[in-house]
């Protein structure tokens, strides 16, 4: 039976369930890396511990909604042929069988090659793909645009090619509360658009998977929360606007909450160069934040009076964690080797002690935890751990935050409380909210360390725009252009190139 005869038989048998397979000779091509669309690698399990666990779909079950979908497949993204076109509102499954990918629709199975492309059969009728194989905030997510599937190992990588506006309308409510000031939401829309556009223009880790960004906190959280008219309006009000410096899109970093100041990029991430528009910016009035000593840092973070601080609406503007030496030893025995394996450049043993990732490593008795280097705005960039077996230095804010996880999975025993300046304590927080903290140590009469209380402030890395700070500035009467100038001084608003 020829392909034409098979397609005719399937169409006549299933009626409205299946359309005739397309025989056109011009296969669809991947979306270009520039322009008005962006390619997003989707997570199967957000926050999973490894690449495969997070991004590989063991199988994919979806329901196209809104219109018919054309399925093409081939050995590469550039070499595809049409396979079949299916109507909307019927489950469509993709599974690996004996190492080969197959699609199943209405009881029929279609063999596929390593790459698969799903796009609207009629460009005038947009399609949404309801992905039943994953969840976001206890809901089944829907994705507009097109999908690309790639077989990899025992699973599938899924990339969503989506219009920039549609992308941003799913980033904004996932990254900033819809209750924030409208001008803060507009500033966030510009920052998110700039960040994505900049990432699209450079070589990122995700390019090898046919994507520009992923959908997690590694880049920008995408489609974790439903769209909302309030955030849609902020995206529309700033249509195509991006921030530039010397006519190039900026690195528009942003984070949740500052403790009273943002930080210089090269101080927080010492492997990155200084940038004129990513400098420490005080987030309070009339106080100027300039910390020169550990005693000043402790006094600053023990100040829980929010008067004048732009970020004080955040419950994590100030926080506190207290851990016994026993808890810290249990914690560091796990996290110090983990960080040494994950970031060997940033976990140092200055005196030649056994590296934490070496076989047979033992932490020993904890003697001291100290800040070796911190920014003038309070963020620690180098932390010293002294034990009976050696001295270890951990550098870079993300490594420090992951080293000191206030979580009983690592400390053992009772729940670990993260006390906040307002609101109930949080139990077993996944990582320290920020590297902006000071240490208060308790020792016994013999000088043996007994407990450390971490007095801290803020949530996030500290570089660029503070989201709660933007909200605070909006409440003070700043418009979104002024908010952006405050956080990214010297930049210009321009339109994204088509």
Q: What local confidence, expressed as pLDDT, does residue 3 receive?
A: 40
Contact 234, 188 (CB under 8 A): yes
- Residue from 278, 457, 267, 284 nearest 375 by CA: 267
Backbone angles phi, psi at 126, to 5 degrees: -65, 155
* pLDDT score recorded for residue 49: 79
Distance from C-alpha of 24 to C-alpha of 346, rounded to nearest angstrom:
54
Could you tell me the two tokens for 315? 């419950």
pLDDT digits (tens, 9 = 90+) for 197-228: 999 999 999 999 999 999 999 999 999 999 99
Given a cut of 70, the residues of the chain with pLDDT beneath it are 1-35, 498
Q: Is the peptide bond before 286 cis (omega within 30 degrees of 0)?
A: yes
Residue 47 confidence (pLDDT)? 87
Rounded-to-integer distance, Cα 359 and Cα 390, Å: 15
397: part of which helix (H) or strand (E)?
helix 397-403
pLDDT of residue 24: 32
DSSP single-letter state for residue 424: P
The SS3 assignment for 213 reads: strand
pTM as predicted: 0.90
Q: Which two tokens stand for residue 466?
A: 């503070």
How far apart CA 177 and CA 182 sit, in angstroms, is 11
pLDDT at site 21: 36
Please give the Cα distance from 468 to 487 (Å, whole number): 12
At 333 the pLDDT is: 97
Domain boundaries along the sequence of the chain: 253-463
- Residue-wise pLDDT tens digits, 312-328: 999 999 999 999 999 99
- Alpha carbon distance 237, 232 (integer Å): 9
H or E segment to which residue 163 belongs: strand 155-163
Looking at residue 17, what is its pLDDT? 39
Beta strand pairing status for 100-105 and 92-97? antiparallel
In order, the DSSP letters of 9-48 are HHHHHHGGGEEPPP--SS---PPPSSSSEEEEEPPSSTT-
Q: What is the pLDDT of residue 290?
A: 85
Using an 8 Å Cβ cutoff, are 187 and 470 in contact?
A: yes
In 42-132, beta strands by DSSP E:
60-65, 69-76, 79-86, 92-97, 100-105, 108-111, 115-120, 128-131
């Amino acid at each position: 039976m020829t392909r034409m005869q098979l397609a005719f038989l399937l169409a006549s048998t299933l009626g409205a369930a299946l359309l005739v397979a397309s025989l056109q000779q011009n296969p669809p091509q991947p979306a270009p890396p520039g322009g008005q669309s962006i390619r997003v690698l989707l997570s199967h399990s957000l926050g999973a511990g490894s690449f495969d666990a997070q991004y590989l779909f063991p199988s994919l079950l979806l329901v196209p909604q809104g219109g018919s979908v054309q399925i093409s497949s081939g050995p590469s993204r550039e070499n595809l042929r049409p396979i079949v076109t299916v109507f909307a509102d019927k489950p469509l499954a993709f599974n690996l069988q004996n190492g080969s990918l197959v699609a199943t629709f209405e009881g029929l199975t279609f063999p596929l090659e390593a790459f698969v492309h799903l796009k609207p059969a009629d460009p005038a009728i947009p399609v949404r793909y309801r992905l039943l194989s994953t969840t976001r905030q206890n809901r089944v997510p829907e994705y507009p645009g097109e999908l690309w599937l790639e077989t990899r190992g025992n699973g599938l990588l899924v990339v969503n090619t989506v219009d920039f506006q549609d992308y941003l309308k799913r980033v904004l409510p996932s990254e900033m509360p819809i209750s924030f000031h409208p001008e803060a939401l507009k500033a966030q829309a510009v920052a998110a658009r700039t960040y994505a556009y900049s990432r699209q223009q450079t070589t990122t880790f995700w390019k090898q998977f046919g994507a520009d960004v992923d959908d997690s906190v590694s880049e920008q959280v995408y489609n974790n929360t439903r769209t909302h008219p309030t955030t849609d309006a902020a995206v529309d009000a700033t249509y195509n606007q991006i921030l530039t410096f010397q006519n190039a899109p900026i690195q528009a970093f942003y984070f949740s909450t500052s403790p009273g100041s943002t930080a210089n990029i090269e101080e927080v991430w010492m492997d990155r160069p200084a940038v004129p528009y990513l400098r420490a910016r005080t987030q309070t009035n009339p106080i100027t934040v300039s910390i020169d000593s550990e005693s000043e840092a402790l006094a600053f973070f023990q100040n829980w009076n929010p008067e004048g601080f732009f970020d004080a609406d955040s419950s994590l503007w100030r926080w506190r964690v207290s851990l016994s030496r026993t808890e810290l030893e249990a914690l560091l025995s796990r996290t110090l080797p983990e960080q040494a394996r994950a970031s060997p450049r940033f976990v140092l043993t200055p005196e030649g002690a056994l590296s934490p990732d070496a076989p047979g490593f033992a932490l020993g008795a904890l003697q001291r935890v100290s800040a070796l280097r911190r920014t003038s705005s309070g963020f620690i960039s180098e932390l010293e751990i002294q034990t009976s077996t050696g001295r270890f230095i951990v550098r870079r804010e993300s490594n420090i935050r992951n080293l000191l996880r206030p979580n009983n999975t690592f400390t053992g025993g009772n729940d670990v409380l993260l006390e906040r300046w307002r609101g109930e304590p949080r139990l077993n927080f996944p990582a320290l909210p920020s590297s902006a903290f000071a240490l208060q140590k308790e020792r016994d009469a013999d000088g043996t360390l007994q407990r450390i209380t971490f007095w801290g402030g803020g949530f996030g890395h500290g570089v660029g725009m503070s989201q709660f700070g933007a909200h605070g500035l909006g409440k003070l009467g700043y418009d979104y252009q002024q908010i952006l100038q405050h956080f990214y001084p010297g930049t210009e608003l321009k339109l994204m190139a088509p």
